[in-house]
């Protein structure tokens, strides 16, 4: 039986409903939404797949992009599957769970290639096979919204709804690691028990290979009974609990008083990393293992290599490079706390050929001595804004090879155009990394060679 969907938007607004329209989905946009034509205009339909015959109803246009609500799928695409999560229709955390995993990978790969093509007509010499793993239970870090809604029985915990800014009413989450994904309902009940349940706006979850930490943001002081309730909950699950009464710098442990650091291992490189709950780490442990391995392969390291690792975080890539016995690795990161953790991880793994410095890589500074040095390899893993500023600031002899890890194909493509057109590099390899299955978010890796 083909899926049908209900749309109550017209009844909620009191307006007469717009007539429904049967159309064929022409293509998908980069967010995985179907593109159809209604009265000659392109309209986006969430939940529709390419080639499908659907019935949809256009919304009143409020934004630059016209959208329509999917009412019924009359002829389904071969790539359509049943979503694994029962909250898929409402929760906006996963937008393409109705699409087979292979189709998801193809969508992301096409988006990456389109981004390169739009920036100077670029295309990689070799398209690297997609890195992919299990699409369920993969997420070990998440920020979850919290809202106390008496009309819905109490606290809501989770992600925003697909249509709007309200929180979806969740009891489980199929993409969070099961030790937390299966506890959403119990976390909601925990919030309900607090005297300031209406003043809890969010919580963060961070998981190591074994340990789990919960960071609770609260806008009013917790009572003694609140603290006892929270501690009893985490002790029963052997979790750690941190409180955040203000900004990120206010995060402090409640239980245990001196919690051990969270940690994860990269067994292929005989490495173990310690990190704090608010530190950046790759959210998908299996994909991180694979990504580090592929990055090392493409770096093509040898014993005399001097390697510069920009946006190094806690040393995730730097220490794997150092394990190859290269001459020197320098990791550069803007967050002094992450730099301290990277140096600590080097010491605890008995690595002496890696060092770390702090620098704001979004602005050029004359005192950056490392930017005038000669490096054999450059590794980058920047935020969504990309690495345009620091690439422009490198004054020394440019490395023979650059390996660029990206969480945004658009900024990657922009920086690729700069490297190819302005610095005479060749885009030799590129491919996607399925770091966030069931979402349209695309992680990618690209390799650039001189000449």
State which H helix or E strand residue 113 sits in: helix 101-118
Whole-angstrom Cα distance, residue 98 to residue 80? 6
Closest CA to 296 of 412, 431, 401, 375: 401
Out of 94, 312, 407, 442, the active site residue is 407
Backbone CA torsion sign across 119, 414, 380, 288: negative
- Could you tell me the end-to-end alpha-carbon distance of the chain, in angstroms, rounded to an integer? 56
**Beta carbons of 34 and 48 less than 8 angstroms apart:** yes
Specify whether the backbone of 61 is left (phi greater than 0), alpha (psi in -120 to 50) or beta.
beta
Give start and end residues of each alpha helix (H) in 210-355.
224-237, 285-299, 318-323, 336-348
Per-residue HEC secondary structure of 171-211 comes to CCCCCECHHHHCCHHHHHHHHHHCCCHHHCCEEEEEECCCC
Whole-angstrom Cα distance, residue 184 to residue 186? 5
Q: Catalytic annotation on 56?
A: no
Closest CA to 3 of 105, 68, 83, 58: 83
**Residue 247 token pair:** 């900004």
Closest CA to 279 of 339, 217, 190, 231: 339
Whole-angstrom Cα distance, residue 130 to residue 294? 11
Q: Which residues are catalytic?
A: 407
């Amino acid at each position: 039986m083909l899926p049908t969907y209900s749309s109550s938007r017209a009844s909620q607004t009191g307006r007469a409903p717009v007539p429904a329209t049967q159309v064929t989905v022409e293509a998908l946009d980069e967010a995985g939404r179907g593109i159809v034509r209604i009265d000659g205009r392109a309209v986006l339909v969430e939940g529709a797949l390419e080639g499908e015959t659907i019935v949809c109803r256009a919304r009143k246009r409020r934004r630059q992009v016209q959208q329509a609500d999917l009412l019924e799928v009359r002829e389904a695409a071969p790539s359509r599957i049943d979503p694994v999560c029962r909250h898929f229709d409402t929760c906006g955390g996963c937008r393409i769970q109705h699409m087979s995993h292979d189709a998801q990978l193809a969508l992301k790969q096409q988006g990456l290639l389109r981004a390169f093509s739009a920036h100077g007509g670029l295309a990689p010499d070799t398209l690297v096979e997609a890195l992919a793993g299990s699409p369920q239970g993969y997420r070990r870090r998440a920020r979850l919204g919290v809202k106390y809604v008496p009309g819905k029985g109490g606290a809501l915990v989770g992600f925003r709804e697909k249509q709007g800014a309200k929180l979806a009413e969740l009891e489980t989450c199929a993409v969070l690691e099961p030790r937390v994904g299966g506890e959403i309902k119990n976390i909601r009940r925990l919030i309900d028990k607090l005297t300031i349940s209406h003043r809890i706006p969010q919580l963060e979850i961070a998981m190591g290979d074994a340990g789990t930490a919960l960071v609770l943001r609260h806008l009013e002081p917790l009572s003694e009974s609140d603290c006892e309730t929270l501690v009893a909950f985490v002790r029963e699950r052997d979790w750690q609990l941190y409180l955040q009464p203000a900004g990120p710098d206010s995060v402090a442990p409640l239980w245990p008083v001196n919690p051990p650091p969270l940690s994860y291992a990269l067994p292929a490189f005989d490495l173990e990393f310690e990190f704090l709950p608010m530190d950046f780490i790759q959210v998908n442990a299996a994909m991180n293992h694979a990504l580090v391995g592929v990055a090392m392969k493409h770096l093509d390291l040898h014993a005399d290599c001097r390697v510069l690792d920009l946006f190094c975080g806690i040393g995730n890539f730097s220490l794997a490079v150092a394990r190859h016995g290269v001459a020197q690795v320098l990791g550069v990161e803007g967050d002094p706390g992450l730099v301290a953790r990277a140096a600590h991880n080097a010491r605890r793994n008995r690595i002496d050929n890696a060092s770390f410095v702090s620098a704001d890589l979004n602005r050029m500074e004359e005192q950056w001595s490392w930017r005038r040095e000669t490096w054999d390899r450059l590794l980058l893993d920047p935020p969504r804004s990309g690495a345009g500023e620091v690439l422009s600031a490198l004054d020394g002899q440019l490395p023979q090879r650059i390996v660029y890890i990206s969480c945004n194909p658009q900024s990657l493509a922009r920086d690729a155009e700069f490297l190819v057109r302005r610095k005479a590099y060749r885009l030799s390899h590129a491919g996607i990394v399925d770091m966030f299955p069931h979402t349209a978010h695309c992680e990618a890796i690209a390799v650039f060679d001189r000449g």
